[in-house]
Amino acid sequence: MRAVATGNLSLTSRIRLSRWLSSFISGYLSLRLLQSKTSPSFTTTTAVASPSPPGVTTLTTRYAGRTLDLTLFAFTQALDIVIGSLWSRRQSRRRAAGLPPSTVDSTISRLTDPSIFAVSSGLIMWAWFYQPTNLPRSYGKWISSAAAVDERLIEALRRCRTGVLQYGKDTGQAPLLGGMAEDHGWPVEWGDPAVSIPFPCEMVHMGCGPSCEKHAVSRFLRSFQWAMATYLPLNLLLVARRPNRKSLITALMSAGRSSAFLGAFITLFYYGVCLSRTRVGPKILGTHTSTRQLIDGGVCVGTGCFLCGWSILLERAGRRKDMALFVAPRALATLLPRRYALDKQWRETVVFAASWAVVLTCVMENKRRVRGVLGGVLSTVLEL
């Protein structure tokens, strides 16, 4: 009996290894095919002096990174599969040993997806503020549209971080926020960092008055309305195929929940800034000029980045899973250069191929283990 079991296990391992290797090869060759295509965004041409014959020649340099988003997507899916499989085995061993469900384990299972989303969102928002070139242009443009903020305010906080704008000193930065103050009918002195230490939080509220809480409510209502204009037509479009009262109510509730999530996301970010600048930060860190510089130089934005992603708790559990897997690779991309040397591209290709092999092997053996939209798509494709 033991010999049969060992033989079956060995056969299963060989089949799994064969699937992994074939998937690795297919993934490697497929990505290499994509990487072979040149792109103007990843090519630079420079003029160099030529000693023989005398003159100027052009040197074309290709960079890698065009497929980075695809690689990171595959990597996060594979990582989710590996960690999820290890966690599932741990739970199975506990059940086999007759151990009762652990409160810690239940909490970890419940908060894993929200935590991934919150951390990923924080990294993305931090990059949008301080390293916008690390985000795809379309992604940054969408965030700017949702934020609905005066670019001069963002630039002022960026300059606070770099030290170009310093409180208590005249460094020639008064026209930046001074012009914003004039446009909104505020005292021009509000925008002068040598006089206003710090600039009033009312400037962050952009016309909603001095109350941070009133601004938070106003920001939520405006963001909710903006989001409903996007989500509601999409949900109603799905209902149009089979219209009935139940599906209509479901569509309205789904659109309302998603809009509340996005509204809360934007509101928590802004209110996190206000908490650091006005409500909590000065009481904990103090009101010295250097402390005000520290708060506006990164602490206030960091607080907003930390808080905003927890709005995901307003979404359904199944939706949290999909959204966490959606933003995680984009967050990882903010930590890596968008372009890098072409001779290092083989590393990315290997990572993609190995990740793709893990995902595809898992789909063929246990398609329910591949979470998110990708799992459903691959399951459908492989069944055709």
Instruction: Give, to the nearest 10 degrees, the angle between helix 103-130 and helix 317-333.
Output: 40
State pTM to two decimals: 0.88
| Confidence grade of residue 148 (pLDDT, cut at 50, 70, 90) | confident
| C-alpha atoms less than 13 angstroms from C-alpha of 369 in its C-beta half-sphere | 21
pLDDT of residue 115: 95
> Does the pLDDT of residue 332 top 60, yes or no?
yes
pLDDT at 317: 85
| Helix then strand then coil, % of the chain, to nearest 5 | 75, 5, 20
Task: Spell out the residues 6+ positions from residue 262 whose beta carbon is closer than 8 angstroms to its own.
Answer: 146, 223, 224, 227, 311
User: What mean pLDDT value characterizes the chain?
Assistant: 87
Q: What is the pLDDT of residues 209-231, one digit of tens each?
A: 889 999 999 999 999 999 999 88
According to the model, what pLDDT value does residue 4 have? 47
pLDDT in tens, 352-361: 999 999 998 8
pLDDT of residue 380: 64
- Kindly list the domain boundaries of the chain, sorted by start residue: 2-101+347-383, 129-149+206-321
Residue 33 CB neighbours (<10 A): 9
Nearest to 251 by CA among 270, 267, 238: 238
Residue 115 token pair: 């935590």
pLDDT score at 32: 93
Cα Dmax for the chain = 87
Per-residue model confidence (pLDDT) at position 42: 81
Helix, strand or coil for residue 315?
coil
For the segment 192-220, the average pLDDT, to the nearest whole number, is 91
Q: Is the pLDDT of residue 203 over 60?
A: yes
Query: Tokens 């005000």, residue?
Result: 292
Residue with tokens 């204009």: 229
